[in-house]
C-alpha cells in the first residue's frame, strides 16, 4: 500500500466570542458566501471555493480555532493516516459523517504543539443558489458580489512558542508536507518554516515567537485574491469600515503580497494574499534564510507587522 | 514499482527561419533572458524560471517546434516511461546527456498525432549572472528588466486536424495527464481538451481544427504573468513595436486572461497568460462544455481570435 | 466684462422606457448612488461626484437624453451666456431654480444639431448619508459599495449625421470649448472631434456617422474609474449579469481604456473609462488624425465596436 | 488687462554632487529620457511629457534645487508677472532665451522663504528620435522603455521651517494658486497646504517642519504613473536595485497613492504618484484637516514616512 497523502487545505473552524460581528466581517467586508447554518454553526466559502465550506463560525466563550481541516488524496487515506498516527503514539478521535455539515467521516488529532488538525476525504460540493451562481461552469459564485471578494482559501500560519522545526518535523514526517523555505537561527533551530503538499509555496507556515502566549496559537488564516490591485481595493474597503490592518506589502519569502486584517469579532488575523510563485520542481531545495536577511525575507517592501508581541494579539488554535 | 510520473512542462525547442528576428522578439519584446548559446542554439528562460532553459531557438529552413519537453518526478521515471512506451508500441529514441545544453539523458517519442515529446529528469539550474540576479534567494533574475517580462513558462497548446481526444487519450493513458475541461461535439468526440499533471488547469491543451494543415501543429506556447494589469502593459509594448496580436481577453475555460502574439521570426504564437484558477481537488470532475456554450467558454469577454484558419497560420510541431 | 466660461460637465438627464431596469443597471451594476427622488425623477451620482447629481432617470415613452448640463465658472456666466446665445440667434429657455432638484436657475438651448444643452451655476453638494459617507473629508461616499463603482462622471459623446465640425464649431465659438484631437476626412470635413474646457482630453466628443438616425443622437455618456484593472473587474461583473458590452480596449485618440456597456432599460451606451492623458499646455496644437490612421487612432488595441450602424443602436439626445 | 496666470508646472532644475549616480537613477531606474546635454546640464523628461525637459541635472558642490519653473498661460504673462512682482517688492532677474536649453526668455525670483522660482512661456517641444517615438501622435515616446517609466511630471512639495501659510499666502496672492486642502494647527497657522492652478489637487504643496534645516528645502518632486499597479511594479524595481524608499501607501489628502524614493546621487526625494482626484468645481471649498485627523489624512493606509527629521534628510531649494 502506498503512503496516505494530503491533497489540500480544506477549512478552518473558528469559534468567536462575537458571532454577529465576525459574520459582518467575513460576509460584508471580506465577502464570503454562506453555504448553510446548522446547529448554530455558519458554514462559509469564497466565490471560487468548490467544497461545502472553507470557514465555519461558531459562537463560544473564547475565540479560538477549533480545528484546521485537510482533505486527503484518496478515500482510504483517512483510515490509513489514523492507523499511522496511532502507531506513532498520536491520539486520534473519529468525527462521524454529518457531524460537520457537508462532510463525511473524519479524524481529529493534535500536533505536538497542541494545534488541532482534522483529516477527511468525503465532502459535498454544493452549487450556489441560481441567482448567485456564476455563468461559468468552472466557477461556483459570481465574483465581486460584496466587499474584498477573495477567490479561495489559501493557507494557514501557526504561531508557537516552540521552535518552528518542532512542528514542521511532524508535518514532514507524519503528514508528508514538503519544506519549501525556512529561517534558521544561529543555533540551527528553525524560527519559521513554510511547507506544502501542493505547488503553492505554503499550505501551512509555522512562526516561532518566544513570547507567544502558548505553543498552539494561530498567526493567521489566508484567502487568495487574483491580482495585486485587488489588495489595494481591499485596503480602501478595510479603512472605510474601520477594520484594523497591516500592509499592503510584499514578502520576500513566498514573493507574495499581503494585507493582514483583524476580524473585530474573534480577533483572528486574516491575510489577504496574492501573487507569489509556484513550485513544480520535484527536487526543490528548501530556501534557507538567516536572520540578517530578514530585511528582505519578511518584508521585501511595504507596510509590515509590528514586531512587538503585545501589538500582535493572537488567538489559540 | 509505482508508475512513472511527469512533474511539469520543461521547455519548448523552437526552430525558426529568422533567428535574428525571433531573438529580438523573445529577448527585447517578451523579455526572456539568455542562459547560454551552444552550437548555434540559444537557450532562454523567464526571470522566474529555475531550469536551464524553457525555450530554445535554433535557425532552420522551416519554422517548427522540434520537441516539447517534460520533466519527470523521479530520476528513474525516464527509463520507466521508455519501457512502458516501447511496450505499447511507441518508438523511443534516447538523447544523451549534454546533447541538449544543461540537460541529462532524455527520451524522445512521437504522439499518435506526430507531435514530438521529450522526457528528462536531470537538468541544471544555473544562477543568473551577479548583475542580473535577484536579491531574493527564491527568484532567479531581477524582474522587469526588459519588455513584457513574464515570470515563467506556463503551458503548450497543440493544434491538430485529429479529434482532440485522439491525442488526449494518449496523454491520459500513457503519460498520466488528468482531464480538467473539454469541449464535446454532438457526435461525442472532443473538439478541445485541457489537461494537466499539476494543479494548473492545463499544462497542455489540444485544439481540434478540421482545417489544420496537419495532425501535428502548435497552436501556441505560453508564458505566465502575475497580474492582469501586466497584460495591459504588454499590449502597449506589443503595439508600439508592431507585433501582431489578439487580446486582451478572458477565457471562460480556465478563467484566465490572454494575449496571443506572433513571433515575427518564426510565426509561432505566444500566449501571454495570467489569472485563472487552480485545481487542488483529488476527485475533480472534468468540466464539459458544448459548442453552444462557446460564447462564454472560449471568450468570456474581450478581443478574440479570428475563427478563419487562413487568418491563423500555425507552424508544425 | 470677460467672456463667460464653462467650468465642467455637470450631468446627463436620461429618459428611459424601462425605469426599473435602468435603475437596476445604474444602481446595482454600475454602482451609482441615489441622492433623492423628486416627482418621479431619480437623481444619482458616483461615489466621487460632489454635485447633487451627475445622472437623472425619468420614465418616458421614448428613451432619450433630455439634456446635457454644464456648470459655468461664475454665477453671472449663466446670464451672460443667455445673452450671447440669443444675440447669435439661438433660442434660450430659462429653467427656474428647483425645477431640477438641487439646482439653481439655468438655461436650456439647442445646438445646431438639435442636441439639448443646459447651463447652470448654482447647485447643491449634499453630503452622503452617515452610513455611506467616506471617512475622507474630500470624498463623498465610501468607494466600492456595489458593482463597477466608478469615481465620477467623465464626458459625453454626441452622435450625428452632420459633419462633426458643424457641431464643434459651435462649441468652440459660442461656448469656449478647445479642440484637442480630430479626424479629418479627405474633403477637409471633420468626422470626429474631441473638445474640452478642462485639461481632460475631452469633456465632449462629436462622432459623425452618415447612417445616424438623426442629427442629434448620443453615442455614449461616460464614467471614470481610477485604474485599468478596475475595467477588467467591470468586464467580469457585466458578463456575469448578462449586460451587453464591447471592450476592454484602448483608444489611440485620448490614450484611454474603455468598455462600452448598454443600459438594458433605455438602450443608452455607457462608457467605463480610465487612464488617458491630460492637457496642461496653453498652446496645445489639436492632434489631426486621418482615416488611414484609424487602425491605431480608434483602437490602439483590444475589443472594438462593430462599425455597422445596425449593430450600434443609439438613442436621441 | 487681465491678470497674468500660471498654466502648469514646467520643470525642476536639480544640482547633484554625484551626477553619474543621479543619471543612473533618473535614467535607468526611474526611466526618464534624455532630450539633450548642453554645457554639462542633462535635460530629461518622461515619456508623456511634451516640453523640452521636466528635469535638468547639473553637477555641483552641493546637492540642491536650483529653481522650480512654471509655464505661464500667455506669452505676455511673463512680463506682466515680472512687473507685478517687482511692484510688490520682489526682486526679479531675467534669464535670456537659450540660457536654459529649449526655453525662451524667463524670469527668476525667490519666494519669501527663499525658494527659487522661474516663469517662462516659450519652450520647445521636440519630437522623440524616430526609434523611441511612440506610434501615437499624441504621445512623445514609447512607454515602458526602461525602469519605473512614469508618464509625466506631476508636482513639487516644498519643505520649510516657516509655517506653510507664509509661503502659500504668497502663492495665492501673487501667483494665483488656489488652496485645495490644508492642515490647520490649533493656533490657526497652517502646517501643510496643497495648492494648484490646474484641476490637480496640487501642483505644489508646502510642508512645515520645525526641524527643517532651513526655510527653503524641497520635500520631494513627483512624477505621475497611470495605475496603482505601476507603483507596485516600481517597488519591485527599486528594491532590486537597492534604492531606499517608503511606501507604497495612500494619502487621505489628495487620495493619491505614493512611493517616496531617494536619488542616491543627490539625495533628493522623488515621489512616484498615481490615482487621486481632480477638482473641476469653480467654487471649491478648501478641505481643512486638523492634527487629530492625520491618521487618515497623511496615510490613509500603507507604509509611511518616518516622522523623525533625522531620518528624512532633505536638500535645499
Q: What percent of chain A has pLDDT over 90?
A: 95
Which one of B104, B120, B136 terminates a domain?
B120
What is the structure's pLDDT at C2?
Answer: 78
What is the CB neighbour count within 10 angstroms for residue B1?
5
* Residue D300 and residue D165 share a domain: yes
CATH code for the domain of D235: 3.10.180.10
Q: Is residue C156 part of a domain?
A: yes
In this predicted structure, the answer to whether residue A37 has a pLDDT above a threshold of 90 is yes
Cross-chain Cβ contact C300/B250 below 8 Å = no
Considering only CB atoms, C228 lies closest to which of B229, B296, B301, namely: B229
Cross-chain Cβ contact D144/B237 below 8 Å = yes
User: What's phi and psi for C113, nearest 5 deg?
Assistant: -80, -15
Considering only CB atoms, B282 lies closest to which of A73, A255, A288, namely: A73
Considering only CB atoms, C249 lies closest to which of B227, B228, B303, namely: B303
DSSP for A187-216, written as a single string: TS-EEEEEEESSSBS-SEEEEE-TT-SSSS
How many CA atoms, within 13 angstroms, populate the side-chain half-sphere of residue B207?
A: 20
Q: Is residue C144 part of a domain?
A: no
- Which portions of chain D are predicted below pLDDT 70? 1, 307, 309
Q: Which residues of A touch C (CB under 8 A)?
A: 134-135, 142-144, 227, 229-230, 233, 236-237, 239-242
Give CA C19 to chain center in angstroms.
20
Q: Encode pLDDT of A66-90 as tens digits.
A: 999 999 999 999 999 999 999 999 9
Cross-chain Cβ contact A248/D296 below 8 Å = no
* Residue A159 and residue A114 share a domain: no
User: What's phi and psi for A287, nearest 5 deg?
Assistant: -80, 125
In this predicted structure, the answer to whether residue A1 has a pLDDT above a threshold of 70 is no
pLDDT bucket at A310, cuts 50 / 70 / 90: confident
Which of B278, B285, B291, B293 best probes binding to A when mutated, by most A CB atoms within 10 angstroms?
Answer: B278
* Residue D105 and residue D17 share a domain: yes
Considering only CB atoms, C248 lies closest to which of B227, B239, B248, namely: B248
Q: Encode pLDDT of C206-265 as tens digits.
A: 999 999 999 999 999 999 999 999 999 999 999 999 999 999 999 999 999 999 999 999
Q: How far apart are CA D211 and CA D249, in angstroms?
A: 24
In this predicted structure, the answer to whether residue C308 has a pLDDT above a threshold of 90 is no
Three cell numbers written together for B198: 499539476
Q: How many domains does chain B have?
A: 2
What is the structure's pLDDT at A120?
Answer: 98
Q: What percent of chain A has pLDDT over 70?
A: 99
* Residue A292 and residue A170 share a domain: yes
Tell me which H or E stretch contains B178.
strand B178-184
Q: Encode pLDDT of D129-179 as tens digits.
A: 999 999 999 999 999 999 999 999 999 999 999 999 999 999 999 999 999
Q: How far apart are CA B122 and CA B71, in angstroms?
A: 8
Residues β-bridged to residue B109: B92, B117
Q: Is residue C1 part of a domain?
A: no
In this predicted structure, the answer to whether residue B73 has a pLDDT above a threshold of 60 is yes
Encode burial over C49-88: b for 16+ CB neighbours within 10 A, e otherwise: bbbbbbbbbebeeebbbbbbbbbbbeeebbbbbbebbeee
In this predicted structure, the answer to whether residue B200 has a pLDDT above a threshold of 70 is yes
Q: Is residue C146 part of a domain?
A: no
Cross-chain Cβ contact D229/C226 below 8 Å = no
Category of C19 on φ-ψ map: left (φ > 0), alpha (ψ -120 to 50) or beta: alpha
* Residue A168 and residue A31 share a domain: no
What is the CB neighbour count within 10 angstroms for residue D57?
28
What is the CB neighbour count within 10 angstroms for residue C188?
8
Q: Is residue D17 part of a domain?
A: yes
What is the structure's pLDDT at A27?
Answer: 98
Mean pLDDT calculated for residue range A25-48: 98
What is the structure's pLDDT at D1?
Answer: 55
Q: How far apart are CA D243 and CA D259, in angstroms?
A: 12
Q: How far apart are CA A23 and CA A27, in angstroms?
A: 6
Q: Is residue B133 part of a domain?
A: no
Contact partners for chain A, using 3 or more CB pairs closer than 8 A, are B, C, D
Cross-chain Cβ contact D143/B227 below 8 Å = no
CA distance to A77, A83, A111, per residue, from A89 (Å)? 18, 10, 11
* Residue C90 and residue C13 share a domain: yes
What is the structure's pLDDT at C130?
Answer: 97
Cross-chain Cβ contact C7/D287 below 8 Å = no
Q: How far apart are CA B253 and CA B182, in angstroms?
A: 9
What is the structure's pLDDT at B1?
Answer: 55
Nearest CA in chain B to A134: B252
**Which domain, by its residues, includes D245?**
152-316
Q: Encode pLDDT of C165-222 as tens digits.
A: 999 999 999 999 999 999 999 999 999 999 999 999 999 999 999 999 999 999 999 9
8 Å CB contact between D290 and D298: no
Which one of D103, D120, D137 terminates a domain?
D120
Residues β-bridged to residue C192: C183, C207
What is the structure's pLDDT at A180?
Answer: 98
- Calculate Rg over the CA atoms of chain B: 19
Q: How far apart are CA B31 and CA D146, in angstroms?
A: 12
Encode burial over C219-237: b for 16+ CB neighbours within 10 A, e otherwise: bbbbbbbbbbbbbbbbbbb
* Residue B248 and residue B288 share a domain: yes
- DSSP letter at A28? I
Q: How far apart are CA B262 and CA A34, in angstroms?
A: 45
In this predicted structure, the answer to whether residue B148 has a pLDDT above a threshold of 70 is yes
Q: Is residue A130 part of a domain?
A: no
What is the CB neighbour count within 10 angstroms for residue D307?
9
* Residue C277 and residue C195 share a domain: yes
What is the structure's pLDDT at C1?
Answer: 55
What is the structure's pLDDT at D235?
Answer: 98
Could you tell me the maximum CA-CA distance found in chain A, to the nearest angstrom?
A: 57
* Residue B89 and residue B184 share a domain: no
Please classify residue B5 by burial: count the beta carbons closer than 10 Å to its beta carbon, then call 0-12 exposed, 13-18 middle and 19+ buried.
Answer: middle
Q: How far apart are CA C240 and CA B300, in angstroms?
A: 9
* Residue A176 and residue A89 share a domain: no
* Residue B308 and residue B197 share a domain: yes
Q: How far apart are CA B204 and CA B154, in angstroms?
A: 9
Closest CA to D8 of D158, D169, D196, D219: D196
Q: Encode pLDDT of C117-164 as tens digits.
A: 999 999 999 999 999 999 999 999 999 999 999 999 999 999 999 999
Cross-chain Cβ contact B239/C304 below 8 Å = no
What is the CB neighbour count within 10 angstroms for residue D160?
25
Q: Encode pLDDT of B269-288 as tens digits.
A: 999 999 999 999 999 999 99
What is the structure's pLDDT at C311?
Answer: 74
Cross-chain Cβ contact D233/B142 below 8 Å = no
Mean pLDDT calculated for residue range A194-222: 97
Q: Is residue A140 part of a domain?
A: no
* Residue A176 and residue A115 share a domain: no
Amino acid at each position: 500500500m502506498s503512503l496516505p497523502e494530503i491533497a489540500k487545505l480544506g477549512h478552518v473552524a473558528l469559534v468567536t466570542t462575537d458571532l454577529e460581528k465576525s459574520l459582518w466581517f467575513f460576509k460584508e467586508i471580506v465577502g464570503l458566501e454562506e453555504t448553510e447554518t446548522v446547529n448554530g454553526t455558519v458554514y462559509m466559502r469564497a466565490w471560487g471555493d468548490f467544497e461545502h465550506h472553507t470557514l465555519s463560525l461558531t459562537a463560544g466563550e473564547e475565540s479560538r480555532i477549533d480545528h484546521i481541516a485537510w482533505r486527503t488524496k484518496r478515500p482510504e487515506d483517512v483510515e490509513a493516516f489514523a492507523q499511522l498516527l496511532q502507531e506513532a503514539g498520536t491520539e486520534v478521535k473519529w468525527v462521524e459523517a454529518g457531524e460537520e455539515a457537508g462532510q463525511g467521516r473524519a479524524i481529529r488529532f493534535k500536533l505536538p504543539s497542541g494545534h488541532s488538525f482534522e483529516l477527511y476525504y468525503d465532502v459535498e460540493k454544493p452549487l450556489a443558489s441560481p441567482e448567485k451562481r456564476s455563468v461559468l461552469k468552472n466557477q461556483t459564485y459570481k465574483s465581486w458580489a460584496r466587499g474584498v471578494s477573495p477567490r479561495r482559501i489559501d493557507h494557514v500560519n501557526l504561531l508557537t512558542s516552540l521552535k518552528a522545526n518542532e512542528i514542521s518535523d511532524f508535518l514532514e514526517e507524519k503528514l508528508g508536507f514538503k519544506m519549501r523555505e525556512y529561517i534558521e537561527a544561529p543555533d540551527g533551530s528553525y524560527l519559521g518554516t513554510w511547507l506544502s503538499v501542493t505547488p503553492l509555496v505554503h499550505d501551512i507556515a509555522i512562526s516561532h515567537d518566544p513570547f507567544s502566549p502558548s505553543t498552539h496559537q494561530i498567526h493567521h488564516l489566508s484567502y487568495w485574491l487574483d491580482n495585486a490591485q485587488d489588495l489595494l481595493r481591499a485596503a480602501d474597503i478595510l479603512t472605510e469600515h474601520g477594520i484594523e490592518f497591516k500592509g499592503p506589502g510584499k514578502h520576500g519569502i513566498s514573493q507574495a503580497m499581503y494585507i493582514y486584517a483583524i476580524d473585530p469579532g474573534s480577533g483572528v488575523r486574516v491575510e489577504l494574499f496574492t501573487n507569489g510563485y509556484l513550485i513544480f520542481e520535484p527536487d526543490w531545495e528548501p530556501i534557507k534564510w538567516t536572520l540578517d536577511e530578514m530585511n528582505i525575507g519578511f518584508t521585501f517592501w511595504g507596510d509590515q507587522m509590528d514586531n512587538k508581541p503585545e501589538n500582535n494579539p493572537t488567538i489559540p488554535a
